[in-house]
Structures are given as structure tokens and as C-alpha cells.
A and B are shown apart, each in its own frame.
Chain A
Amino acid sequence: MAENTTSRSKRLFTTAGLIFLALGIVLYFAKAPMGLNRKIYDLPIFLIIIGVCFALKGFMSKNAPVNELETSRVSFVEFLTNNAILLAMLVLVVVICILQPRFMQIRVALDILTQSSTKLIMALGICFALLIAGTDLSAGRMVGLAAVVSASMMQTATYANRFFPDLPQVEVWIPIVAAIAACMVFGALNGFIVAKYEMHPFIATLATQVIIYGVCSLYFDMPPNNSQPIGGIRSDFAQIGQMRLFSGIYKGFPGISILIPISIVICIIIWFILNKTIFGKNVYAIGGNREAAVVAGINVFRNIMFIFILASFLYGIAGVLEAARTAGATNNYGNGYETDAIAACVVGGVSMNGGIGRVGGIIMGVLIFTVIQYGLQFINVSPMWQQVIKGVIIAVAVAIDLTKYRRK
């Protein structure tokens, strides 16, 4: 029975993949002669990509010896609940594509990925705190801190309103390191309060959040800047967030934002840390049962310190990228980013009770939010309605997720 399920899903994926692939290729060559260019845009290319992905998944999935006790036949309903949000997103995408065929463009997809990048880095940072059944409210303010610190040292020599009027042309990496280090100091503070005094991370990071904003504002308010937005950013720094790769590869191709490869690399690193290192296993263990982790001889103090420092490192990167991408910074940068990141994590299946969560899920969670936001903008849904929809998604997604763990 179990054997059948596996091979059936394998067959399903392979056939679906091949069908998509074939359809994509046919449409690709047929769209110009049939005059469909303005009707389906880049749909064929998407079909080919989806087809290849499905087929690969089908070929790669093993017929692992599954025991009867573990997996019973995955019923249709179960499949729906397991992937409800993903399916809802697919339905929405299809609807948007019908209403606005322009949505089916490579550039739109790249836009969505670009917009997801910094959010993803934030979510990957915050997921560690969530995995130990905590949270991190200071994440957003750390982004602001990193943005202000890095931008303040990266202004062009000719700009009238310089933060440090006499600062010479410094190497690009110096402000980046300084910004990230500033965040890591506060990350260490977070970790110390949480680990040493066993304070709930909600309170500890709330305190640090306020401190960081204060410190950042003080810095931002230093004369001669006096709380004016930092501008006149050097183009070599701005390139870190704005550079586009392969932009002239064919006519009309907008190029791939540098943010995409950066976030992909970070995803891989975090995945590796969570799944292949002692530290990662310890995070799951501490989140799963802190007392048992202590008894098992895990140094909980050191691990929690490391969790918050690593997270602040990621927020620092996100902050620098934000400053570079927008070529500017104020002390209000990053405000509220932590709630978006937490929302993306929980929608991606990270449990607030700790111990459960995967990088794949987090990527999904972030993408779902961006796709929906971008898509709703695309069909001119009012931003106020977008907020309502976003909130509903969080509640519904988590409710569905929780029913998985409850059985009667």
C-alpha cells in the first residue's frame, strides 16, 4: 500500500512534468505565428521551467522503503490541507494571469524574487529564535541600524550634506563590516539576556529593540546630520544592492538582481547549518525540549548566544542591502520587518512552540507573501484590502497547519 503511494506520486510528477514541458515547447514555437505574443507573454518559458522541475522531482524521488505505520494512503483531503496555502496561491496566480496576462512575464517573476530576497534573509535570521520557541522583535530595528551605519560612511565626496564631512574615500567592505558588527553587538546582548537570565525572548528582544532604535537615532541625530535622511550614496556601494546580472543577454531581458543570488547563497548556508551541523541539531533539540537538552549535556547558554548573534549577522546583511538598494537610509528603515519575517516563517510551517521548521518552508512562506502582494497590486487591489488579505492568510495558514498536528 505504502509502496504504491510512493511510486504513484513519482509517476504523477514525471508525467505532469513531461506534459508541461511538451506544452511549453509547443507554445514557445507556436506563439509568434499564432499571434499570441500579447496574450500569453512568457507563459511557455514558465511551463518549461515548471515541467523540468516536476520531471526532476519525479525522477529523483526514491521508492524509499516506507513502513505501513508511518504513511498511510495520502488522501485527497490530506493533500489539500497539507498544501492549502500553496494551492490558494496558485489559484490566485491563475486568476491574476487571466485578468492581467501581462503578469506572465519573466520580468515579473524576477521582480517577485528580488522583492523576496531581503525578506527571506530576515526570515532565515528570525527562524532560529522561533525554533527555540522564542521570537526576535529587534530584527527590524537592526536592519535600520545597519542601513544607517553603512550608508553614513558611503557618501560621495562631493555630496553637500555629508554625515562625516572629512571622511576619506573608504573601502566598501569597511562600512559593511562596521554595520554588521554593530548589529552583532546587539545580537550578543539579546543572546546574553535570554541565555543568562532565562528571560523570554519576547521581553528581551523588546528591550533591545527599543535600545537599538534609541542608539540608532542618537547616531543619526549627530551633527552635522541632525536626523536628515542620508543621501548621496556612492555608486560602488549602491551597486551591491542594485547590480543586475546578465542584463543584455537578449533584447528586453531586465537582468537578474544581485539580491537573488545573494539570498540563494544565504539559504544554502542556513540550510546547511540547520541540517548538517551540531549547532543546527542543538537548535532543534533546545526547541524540542530545553530541559532534555540540558540533561543531554548541550551547552544551552552558548547555543542561544550563537543563535542571536547569527540572526543579527543576517539582519545586518539585510540592512546593508536595503541601504544599497535604495541608495539611502534613515533611522526608520526596517521598522516592522520582524513581523513580516515572523509571519512568513509561521506560514512556512515554523512552529511557534519551537523545534519544528524547515528552510524550504520558510522560502515558501516568503514567496507566498510577495506573490500575493505583487499580484494584488498588479490587478489594482487597494493597499488597504491587501492588508486585510495578508492578515487573513496568516490566520488561515497557521490554523490549517495546526490541524495537521491535532488528531482525534
Chain B
Amino acid sequence: MGEYLLEMKNITKTFPGVKALDNVQLNVRKGTVHALMGENGAGKSTLMKCLFGIYEPNGGEIFLDGKKANIHSARQAMDQGIAMVHQELHPIRFRSVMENVYLGRFPGHMGVVNHKAMYDKTKALFEDLELDVDPLALAGEQSAAILQMMEIARAVDMKAKIIILDEPTSSLSDREVEHLFKIINRLRSQGVAFIYISHKMKEILEISDEVTIMRDGTYVGTWPVVNKETGEKLTNDFIIRQMVGREMTSQFPPREGKPSSEVVLKVEHVCSPLRKSFQDVSFELHKQEILGIGGLVGAQRTEFVEALFGLRGIASGEILLNGARYSAKSPGFAKSRGLALLTEERRATGIFGILPILENTVIANQKNYAHLGILNERKRRIDADEECRKLNVKTPSLATLIQNLSGGNQQKVLIARWLLTNSDILILDEPTRGIDVGAKYEIYNIMLEQIAQGRSIIMISSEMPELMGMSDRIMVMCEGRVTGFLNKGEYSQEKIMALATQFAVHKDNTAA
């Protein structure tokens, strides 16, 4: 056996008009975690899809255990010990967890499934992974973290030698990440190799042994996280420099000016009709302020801002918008009152994938281009073009389908959409999720520009550095309640975590 478990050599993949991968290599050792990094659009996903048989590379070779491998379908990849846990999981929602684990490989004879064996095997697997889930529970009712563990369990059961994790922590809380890392460490010691795709530097430096960096479809280099000779660790700055190919002086652009004392939005004792959702939320948003909302997954932050935007019901409480009473009836009404919401799930609730950028940009603002319902095409085009240019959306033309853009550019189009409506209050729910470093910086810049123009921003973020780096004030939520506010200058990860984990003591728990 050679030095590497997996060798991908000179992989090239072209799509009509685009060279997505150009002579890329990736060498993974047995029993290591190999981080694969690069900006969005650098070709990480394409490379993984080539490995997993979803794409056929136009050139290059793949060696497994030193032997040339032929992989033409996901099935063949799995048979050869490669498993992939996708970033967005699509379980069969109305089937049990165990059926999802054994999908395509049900235990049994002559087409008759042995449910007992499936149950026992799943139970044993889950115990091994310290996962407390009933194999008979419906997959659709499980959290993202459990679904991910389910996928890993599946990979373990299939005796996978290489497990690809694509942005595994993007929707996990810190505690869930800890659990994931524990499992990864255990499997690594058993000789399993991981290919770990993530944008989160801290995680990469914590969990991985080696880092391969890609840029614009090309291979930049591979480095061990800890240099064996010198004992030096890789640094954030070094990785970012390699990824973007330029010096990044700072992660966040400098904030100029201060929020004014004028209150634009006053929320008082707002409660959800659902008992487990947000309760008694009160705060003030000042003009030209960035109010960050921190908290763990399940803190009901998204639910709260969606209610503010009219997507969910509000049972009680009062909201004053510029001093006047505001009732969040519908998104259309919220829009007419100058609110804008950039949702967390860009693909599910943000973009219209099969429509061109033009339509995606102007969709919320059609009324301003229409006379008696008839649209003025020229005005639409000019506005969309101007706004996309301002926000530096990188696209061949406005006619390009938005689904063909990278995540960062999609996000910019969505921001452009809401800037066109002339909203005064921008609610940004995880504005930089799944976006590469360069685009993140651009989005921060856009946020500051909007503040300078007199707008106000509410930003939900699960990334601590972002929350602390961008917010003028941080409101922390836990289980639907506001557990505290932090002013600029008193931020620290510890303080935020402390507030975010202030779980209520349920007195009725024993009774229930």
C-alpha cells in the first residue's frame, strides 16, 4: 500500500463554457481528517462530485489504495468505500430513521425486508455513535444534527474508508459540533479518512490534520495543520491568503459613525401563539444601528424575525414602527412599511432558481415599474442593472439564471432586491451563511453602506466573530426569551454563550 488512501491526480472537469476544475489534485492519508478549503466557486463541490461519481471528469485519474479506481456512479463510489454526507440533507421525511439508514440496502431475503434485523442493527449503530434516537422515529421529525449523524451512521455501516463531509456544521449548535468532532475523532482512530469541507477556520484548525486549498478551480497547495519539524500551526491569515490569493488585512471593514438616538422600531412584549416559540420579546432598534441577535440553534430567532415580517402569527404585544403602531399582517404589508427580510434558507425561501437574475432582483418591487399592472421593461432593466452593479454581483448578464451563481453572488442579488424596495429596516437572517471569505467582506461593506445611508439593520448570526465584529449592540435569545443585551465594548464569546445557554428551569418538567 502506498502512502495515500486516496489520490486524485490532474482532475479536470469542464462544463459548456466553463473550466470548473483544472488539473486539481487531492491526496488523503488513512486515518486523517483532510480539510478541503476554498472560496465558493473554487471547485470543491465539483471535485467531490467527481470523486463520488456524480460528475464524470474530463481528465485525470483516481487511485484508491494505490489502485486505479473506476467510479461512474454514486453506487460504485459507495461500493468502493466512499461515502458522502451532503450539506443539505434530504431524508425521506415520512419514513423511519432506520429505513433511511438502510435505504437501498435493506437487510432481508428475496426482497422481503427483515425489520427486526434492521431495528437491531440501527440501534447498535446509534449506541456506538452515542446517538439517542429511536430507530422507528420519523426522519422528518429529527433535527439537522441528528440527520447528519444518521448519514454518518450509514457511512460507518457501509464500512466506508473515506467519508466526505460537506459543510457539516453549517446548521449545528456548538454542542452538536462537539459531538460531531468526538465521533470524527473516534472513527479517525479506527482508520477512517475524512474529507472535510468547511468555511469555518476555527473548526478546520481544530479537527483536521491536513489542509488542501483550491482557488478558481485550480490546486493551490496542501499543508499539514501542525508542522512536524517546527511545531508551528497554520494560521487563519495564512489560509485566507491562500484562498483569496490576496492579503486580507481585516475580517471586518471599519465601522464609521454611530447609531443615532432616534428609535425606529420598538418591540414590546411580543409573544408567539405557540408556547414553545418566542415569548415576551422587547427591544428598541435605533436608526443607523446594527442590532445583532445571538443565540443557539432553537433560540427562536428566525421565528421571531419572520413574525415581525408577517410570515408567522403574533399573539400579543405591541410593535411601534417610527412611533406608529404596526401590525405584522403579511409580508406584503411589512414590505410596504419599509421592512425587508433576507431569509436564512437562501435556496428554499430566497431565490427563484429557474428565473434570471433580472427577475430575481426586481420581484419585490414590481409595483414601482408598473402602470395599471403593465410593466415598464426598460425601467426594470435599468434598476436591476444599476443595483447589481453597485453591489458588485459577478455575472455574465442579467439573463443568467440565478441558480448558476455562487452563494455569495446569489446573496448579493437578494440584498439588491430589498434595497430596491427602499426598505428602512433590513432584517438579515444569517446573511453570510455558506458564503466565502471574499464575498463575506463585501456583504459587510454593503451593510455599513446602508447604515451610512440612514437605514437600520437587525442581523441574526450564529458566527460569534461576525456577531461581535458587526453589531453595535447584541441581543441574545435562548429558548424564545431575550436573555440579555450586550453593548459594544463588553462583547466576549463567553458572555454571549452564558446568555445563550440561560435555559429556564422548567418547574412543570417533572409533572409532564
Identify the A interface with B (CB < 8 A): 67-72, 276-279, 281-282, 284-285, 288-289, 291-299, 355-356, 407-408
Contacts and interface: CB of A to CB of B under 8 A. Distances in A.
Interface string B364-401: 10110010011101000000000000000000110110
Contact of A70 (B359, B374, B397): B397
A210 B497 CA distance: 59
B160 to A, nearest CB: 24
Nearest to B418: A296
B331 interface: yes
Interface in B34-61: 55-56
Interface in B271-328: 309, 311
Given A68-B17, A70-B17, A277-B375, A292 B370 contact: no
10 contacts: A70-B397, A276-B375, A277-B370, A277-B374, A288-B355, A289-B352, A295-B349, A296-B331, A296-B417, A356-B354
Contact of B359 (A276, A281, A297, A408): A281
A288 B309 CA distance: 22
A281 B354 contact: no
B331 A284 contact: no
Contact of A67 (B334, B366, B397): B397
Nearest to A289: B352
A70 B17 CA distance: 7
Given A70-B396, A281-B359, A288 B18 contact: no
B313 to A, nearest CB: 14
A296 B364 contact: yes
The interface centre, meaning the residue of B18, B341, B343, B352 with most chain A CB atoms within 10 A of its CB, is B352
B29 to A, nearest CB: 30
A299 B336 CA distance: 12
Q: Which 6 A-B pairs have the closest CB atoms?
A: A67-B396, A297-B335, A288-B352, A72-B16, A297-B332, A291-B349
The interface centre, meaning the residue of A67, A70, A276 with most chain B CB atoms within 10 A of its CB, is A70
B363 interface: yes
Nearest to B404: A69
B330 interface: yes
B353 interface: yes
B270 interface: no
B373 A277 contact: yes
Given A69-B17, A70-B399, A298-B364, 8 more contacts: A276-B374, A277-B373, A278-B370, A288-B352, A288-B354, A297-B335, A298-B332, A299-B332
Contact of B334 (A281, A291, A297): A297
A281 B332 CA distance: 16
Contact of B375 (A278, A288, A298, A407): A278
A99 B350 CA distance: 56
Given A278-B367, A279-B373, A295 B350 contact: yes
The interface centre, meaning the residue of A71, A288, A298, A408 with most chain B CB atoms within 10 A of its CB, is A288
A289 to B, nearest CB: 5
B351 interface: yes
B341 A72 contact: no
B238 interface: no
A407 B311 contact: no
A297 B332 CA distance: 4
